[in-house]
């Protein structure tokens, strides 16, 4: 990809935002974080109260980027094979044979709704697919399509009967994106829009192909980072390990994700370099699920976001 | 190719920093030289080595030392980071391009960044490397201290009282060379008035001289006495021995004649005799 195409590709990403905006009212910051994740070829944990359009946003992004989409509602009785697929017996003229039937994980964008309701065994199946980009069934390895994104939602309330993701597994999500309640004006618009027409009636244009997205991902990885900016990102992650309010700090994987996310945000800003502000902007979504707030601080109302912001 | 251009641009920025550092150091070392000179004189340092005053060498050494030290220190501050500070528009991208070029990055994004930085550098300036206020103050100090030194050198009363010696180590000439012993000290041209004395009105000069020429005891021509030949013969013979007696003028007047006047009278008589 020549650099002459850069403005055009940046414009396409901008158009993705605009197209998604046709369905999703507000939540621009959240959407941008989600796109950052896609540009980094990363996976995201989406957290928000019910009814905040988490699923709709993911599905809409998949629609406008011309990627296949699948969704699984996680439940305690969900089995790993329900996610990855399984071997089934098929009858042919020559007889019967085992044939691998791909599960919903074989899509470009997979939404695992309420992942914390699945058992740890099933969660591990998700995470293996997310990490390895392949699944093994019946002794055979099957590659997942490229690009592949696993977007999992969590419900911060109603935790009874859930299986919270272990730290080691949540660390594999590049970002944790939180959804806030819309403002009054935004909610008014939502009510007006969806009481006068149905969601499926809103037509969306496909503005970015999966191939183009992969080209952009390659471009984003090539964005240079100044030594001191990279050093500052690493120092920021290091500080979480020594922070008074944090019992458990972020891993080196957080440093990788932070720099990469800053690159993607810089691309979306139209820059071919990573600014300090981009690193700072990405610090909270990249690290909030990788740290554990100290009990004392938590009792005083300090959240992971607060503790990280204090370190910036 | 573009990466090399960025590296060259970074080197050029560093060279500009060095130039600015040398400029600052040069002006400031001039201030140090003058201040050192004044300080040494004010403190009365009169040390000599082999008969030569060490004041100038000491001040020069201080200035040279300061020049190199200041050049180094200023150059250290006039780094690429300083250039970025004074050109905030290119700060982050220039820093990134510098690091990327050093590491040999050649991704599409890096190449685009190099081109972008080179374009931006054409619109930036390294003038900020020269600290205008500091340079102005330094120049003012050079001029001010220089003026004081010049005043001290000519003995004109100035803000610095140097006692009996100028900053150049010479005795102060308070009377501008008009003291009694000034003539002995001074060997250069003098004023015309001083040589000729006071002026006055002059009468018109004349080269005619009226003499009463008479022989000893003989009557003058027309007096009814002896003949004219006798008169002349008697007087001219004796004139060269004693012209005053020969011409019979008043003794006191003859004695007042200068040798030059006597020579004129003598020539006159010769001309009369030869003409007669």
End-of-domain residue from the set A154, A185, A209: A209
Shared domain for B144 and B237, answered yes or no, is: no
Q: Is the peptide bond before A5 cis (omega within 30 degrees of 0)?
A: no
- How far is residue B65's CA from residue B11's CA, in Å, rounded to a whole number? 27
Nearest partner of B6 among B128, B102, B108, judged by Cα? B102
Answer yes or no: do A197 and A117 share one domain. Answer: yes
Task: Classify residue B148: in a domain, yes or no.
Answer: yes
CB–CB of A174/A42 below 8 Å?
A: yes
CB contact under 8 A, A6 and B93: no
- Per-residue pLDDT band for A238 (boundaries 50, 70, 90) equals very high
Asked if residue A215 belongs to a domain, the reply is: no
Q: Do A222 and B93 touch (CB under 8 A)?
A: no
Residues A72 and A148 in one domain: yes
- State the count of interchain CB pairs (< 8 A) between A and B: 61
For residue B177, the model assigns a pLDDT of 47
Tell whether B72 is covered by a domain. yes
Question: Does A204 reside within a domain?
Answer: yes
Same-domain status, A195 and A257: no
B83 within domain boundaries: yes
Q: Among residues A209, A240, A257, which one ends one of the domains?
A: A209
- What CATH number did the domain enclosing A299 receive? 1.10.8.80
- Residues spanned by the domain of A283: 222-312
Identify whether residues B6 and B126 lie together within a single domain.
Answer: yes
Count of the separate structural domains present in chain A: 2
- At A84, list the tokens: 């990855």
Residues B46 and B144 in one domain: yes
- What is the percent of chain A with per-residue pLDDT over 70, rounded to a whole number? 97
Domain annotation covers residue A52: yes
Which chain B residues are Cβ-neighbours of A222 within 8 angstroms? 105, 107-110
pLDDT along chain B (276 residues), means of 10: 72 75 82 82 68 76 85 72 72 85 85 84 67 79 78 51 50 50 54 61 64 50 47 48 50 68 82 71
Chain A stretch 153-212, residues whose beta carbon is closer than 8 A to a beta carbon of chain B:
none
- Return the pLDDT at B34: 83
In a domain, A64, yes or no: yes
Mutation site for B-interface testing, chosen from A39, A224, A271, A280 by largest number of B Cβ within 10 Å:
A224
Q: What is the pLDDT of residues A61-92, one digit of tens each?
A: 888 888 888 999 988 898 988 888 888 888 88
Domain that holds residue B109: 2-154
- Asked if A276 and B107 come within 8 Å (Cβ–Cβ), the reply is no
Which contiguous run of DSSP H or E holds residue B187? none
Strand-pairing partners, residue A173, are none
Q: Most B CBs within 10 Å: which of A39, A273, A275, A279, as the mutation test of the B interface?
A: A273
Q: Which residues of B touch A265 (CB under 8 A)?
A: none
Are A191 and A260 within one domain?
Answer: no
Measured in whole angstroms, the distance separating CA A153 from the mean position of its chain's CA atoms is 9
Whose CA is closest to B167, among B50, B32, B12, B55?
B55
Residues A9, A97 within the same domain:
yes
CB-based contact A261:A175 (threshold 8 Å): yes
Mean pLDDT score of chain A: 87
Residue B96 touches partner A, C-beta closer than 8 Å: yes
Residues 271-290 of chain A whose Cβ lies under 8 A from any Cβ of chain B = 271-276
Nearest-CA distance B112 → chain A (Å): 6
The alpha-carbon gap from B17 to the nearest alpha carbon of chain A, in Å, equals 21
Same domain for B54 and B143, yes or no, is: yes
∠ CA A285-B92-B16, rounded to 5°: 165
Tell me if chain B has a CB within 8 Å of the CB of A3: yes
In this complex, do A229 and B110 lie within 8 Å of one another by their Cβ atoms?
no
Q: Are residues A140 and A257 in the same domain?
A: no
Answer yes or no: do A166 and A241 share one domain: no
DSSP string, chain A: --GGGHHHHHHHHHHHHHHHHHHS-S-HHHHHHHHHHHHTT--EEEE--TTSSHHHHHHHHHHHTT--EEEEE--TT--HHHHHEEEEEEE-SS-EEEEEEE-TTSSSEEEEETGGGS-HHHHHHHHHHHHHSEEEETTEEEEPPSS-EEEEEE-SS--TT--PPPHHHHTTSSEEEE-PPPPHHHHHHHHHHHHHS-GGGS-------HHHHHHHHHHHHT----HHHHHHHHHHHHHHHH-TTEEE---HHHHHHHHHHHHHHHHHTT-SS--HHHHHHHHHHHHTTT-EE-HHHHHTT--HHHHHHHH-
What is the domain count for chain B?
2
Q: Are residues B242 and B127 in the same domain?
A: no
Which of A158, A176, A209 delimits the end of a domain?
A: A209
Per-position b or e across B212-235, b if 16+ CB within 10 A of its CB: ebbbeebeeeeeeeeeeeebbebb
B35 touches chain A (CB under 8 A): no
pLDDT for residue A263 is more than 80: yes
CATH of the domain at A50: 3.40.50.300
Domain shared by A194 and A245, yes or no? no
Per-residue pLDDT, A34 = 92
- Calculate helix-pair angle for A6-23, B108-121, nearest 10 degrees: 110
Please, is B135 exposed, middle or buried when counting C-beta atoms within 10 Å of its C-beta (0-12, 13-18, 19+)? middle
pLDDT band at A234 (very low <50, low <70, confident <90, very high): very high
Are B10 and B132 in the same domain? yes
The reply to whether A112 and A148 lie within a common domain is yes
- A162 found inside a domain: yes
Q: Is residue B192 part of a domain?
A: no
Is the same domain home to A43 and A187? yes
- The answer on B133 and B8 residing in a single domain is yes
A224 contacts B110? CB cut-off 8 A: yes
Statement: residue A232 has pLDDT above 90: yes
Residues A227 and A179 occupy one common structural domain: no
Tell me if chain A has a CB within 8 Å of the CB of B108: yes
Q: Does B107 touch chain A (CB under 8 A)?
A: yes
Tell whether A155 and A281 lie within a shared domain: no
Measured in angstroms, the CA of A42 and the nearest CA of chain B are apart by 20
Residues B223, B135, single domain; the answer is no
Instruction: Say whether A2 and B93 touch across the interface (CB within 8 A).
Output: no
Q: Is residue B186 in a domain? A: no
Q: What is the ipTM of this complex?
A: 0.81
Rounded Cα distance between A301 and A295, Å, is 10
Residues B150 and B255 both lie in one domain: no
């Amino acid at each position: 990809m020549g650099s002459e195409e850069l403005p055009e590709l940046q414009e396409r990403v901008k158009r993705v935002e605009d197209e998604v905006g046709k369905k999703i009212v507000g939540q621009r910051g959240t959407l941008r974080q989600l796109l950052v994740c896609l540009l980094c070829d990363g996976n995201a944990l989406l957290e928000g109260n019910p009814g905040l359009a988490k699923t709709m946003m993911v599905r809409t992004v998949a629609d406008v980027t011309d990627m296949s989409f699948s969704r699984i509602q996680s439940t305690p009785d969900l089995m790993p094979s329900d996610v990855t697929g399984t071997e089934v017996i098929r009858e042919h003229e020559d007889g019967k044979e085992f044939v691998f039937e791909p599960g919903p994980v074989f899509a470009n964008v997979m939404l695992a709704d309420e992942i914390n309701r699945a058992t740890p065994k099933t969660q591990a199946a998700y995470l293996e697919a997310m990490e390895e980009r392949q699944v093994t069934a019946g002794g055979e390895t099957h590659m997942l399509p490229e690009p592949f994104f696993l977007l999992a939602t969590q419900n911060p309330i109603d935790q009874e009967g859930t299986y919270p993701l272990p730290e080691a597994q949540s660390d594999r999500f590049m970002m944790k994106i939180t959804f806030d309640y819309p403002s009054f004006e935004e909610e008014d618009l939502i009510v007006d829009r969806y009481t006068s027409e149905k969601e499926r009636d809103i037509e969306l244009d496909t503005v970015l192909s999966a191939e183009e997205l992969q080209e952009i991902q390659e471009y984003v990885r090539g964005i240079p980072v100044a030594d001191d900016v990279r050093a500052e990102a690493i120092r920021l992650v290091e500080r979480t390990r020594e922070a008074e309010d944090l019992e458990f700090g972020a891993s080196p994987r957080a440093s990788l994700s932070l720099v990469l996310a800053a690159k993607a945000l810089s691309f979306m800003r139209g820059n071919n370099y990573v600014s300090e502000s981009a690193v700072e902007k990405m610090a909270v979504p990249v690290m909030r699920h990788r740290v554990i707030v100290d009990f004392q601080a938590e009792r005083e109302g300090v959240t992971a976001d607060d503790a990280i912001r204090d370190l910036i | 190719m573009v990466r090399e251009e960025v590296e060259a641009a970074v080197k050029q920025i560093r060279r500009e920093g060095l130039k600015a550092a040398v400029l600052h150091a040069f002006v400031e070392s001039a201030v140090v030289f003058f201040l050192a000179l004044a300080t040494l004189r004010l403190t009365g340092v009169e040390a000599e080595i082999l008969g030569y005053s060490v004041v100038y060498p000491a001040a020069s050494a201080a200035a040279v030392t300061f020049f190199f030290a200041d050049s180094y220190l200023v150059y250290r501050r006039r780094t690429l980071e300083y250039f970025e500070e004074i050109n905030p528009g290119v700060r982050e991208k220039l820093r990134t391009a510098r690091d990327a070029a050093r590491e040999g990055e050649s991704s599409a994004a890096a190449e685009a960044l190099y081109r972008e930085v080179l374009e931006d550098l054409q619109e930036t300036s390294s003038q900020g490397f020269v600290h205008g206020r500091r340079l102005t103050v330094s120049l003012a100090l050079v001029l001010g201290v220089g003026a004081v030194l010049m005043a001290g050198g000519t003995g004109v009363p100035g803000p610095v009282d140097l006692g009996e010696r100028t900053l150049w180590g010479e005795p102060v000439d308070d009377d501008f060379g008009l003291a009694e012993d000034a003539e002995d000290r001074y060997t250069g041209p003098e004023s015309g008035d001083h040589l000729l004395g006071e002026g006055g009105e002059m009468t018109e000069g004349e080269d005619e001289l009226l003499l009463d020429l008479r022989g000893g005891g003989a009557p003058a021509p027309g007096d009814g006495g002896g003949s004219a030949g006798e008169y002349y013969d008697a007087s001219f013979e004796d004139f060269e021995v004693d012209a005053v007696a020969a011409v019979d003028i008043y003794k006191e007047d003859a004695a007042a004649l200068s040798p030059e006047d006597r020579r004129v009278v003598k020539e006159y008589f010769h001309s009369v005799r030869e003409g007669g």
